[in-house]
Amino acid sequence: GNSVTQMEGPVTLSEEAFLTINCTYTATGYPSLFWYVQYPGEGLQLLLKATKADDKGSNKGFEATYRKETTSFHLEKGSVQVSDSAVYFCALSGRYAGGTSYGKLTFGQGTILTVHP
Amino acid sequence: NAGVTQTPKFRVLKTGQSMTLLCAQDMNHEYMYWYRQDPGMGLRLIHYSVGEGTTAKGEVPDGYNVSRLKKQNFLLGLESAAPSQTSVYFCASSSPAGDGTDTQYFGPGTRLTVL
């Protein structure tokens, strides 16, 4: 079955530091890959996504590249801000030749990011 | 647009009690989902629906039932609550892209404690 593994957290950084959160996956078919973010007390919201190999998703200074050869989708940001403090989830949605996954998502365990001034 | 709303926001139950969580969306989405979020485990899919009147089991369906009588509403029921069902429950909805690239929109969550 499908699975997603994220780096262990929590991650604590100073403002303007470089961020990497690792994500690797196992999937059959041709998955789409997502990063969702959960700010304190809120539901999840889409941060970025990539739908095929070598695609790069980007949003709000965050980037992630779909690497099929390493089955990875690592999240990066060059300079984090205090407002980036949140929980980050990597997820995948399977796609199959001749079928559909109905958009069902498989999530990683989440990585807590705290950014200090 | 309100997006996805969930009722209630918090609830405390005693073991064996029943309750229903309500999810409503105003985006005319076909697909709706119920997830539970537990520490260190990410979100896990309980049940989902691909249209009015249809439901299907997800990864962790035991102990839960669902109904989708109206397109905009998706109800999650606990018939006999157990402490293992203490969790944060999220509802989500999406419009099918047909190729697995759908973006899901999440509600704010319901924090349920079963004593």
**Inter-chain touch B42–A46, beta carbons under 8 Å:** no
Q: Strands A62-65 and A75-77, how do they pair?
A: antiparallel
Per-residue pLDDT of A102-117, as tens digits, reads: 778 999 999 999 999 9
Q: Please tell me the predicted confidence (pLDDT) of residue A96.
A: 61
- String of DSSP letters for B35-102: EEE-TTS-EEEEEEESSTT--EE-SS-TT-EEE-SSTTEEEEEESS--GGG-EEEEEEEE---SSS-P
Which three-class secondary structure state does DSSP give residue A1? coil
**Inter-chain touch A31–B100, beta carbons under 8 Å:** yes
**Inter-chain touch A102–B90, beta carbons under 8 Å:** no
* Look-up of token digits 């990585």: A111
CB-based contact (8 Å) between A57 and chain B? Answer: no
Q: Tokens standing for A111? A: 């990585």
Residue A29 has pLDDT above 80, yes or no: no
Instruction: For residue B101, count other CB atoms closer than 10 A to its CB.
Output: 18
Average pLDDT of the segment spanning A19-32: 91
| Mean pLDDT across chain B | 93
CA distance A103 to chain B (A): 5
Residue B37 has pLDDT above 90, yes or no: yes
Q: Please tell me the predicted confidence (pLDDT) of residue A100.
A: 64
- Sorted by sequence, the CB contacts under 8 Å of residue B2 that are 6+ apart come out as B24, B26
Average pLDDT of the segment spanning A12-31: 93
pLDDT confidence bin for B1, thresholds 50/70/90: confident
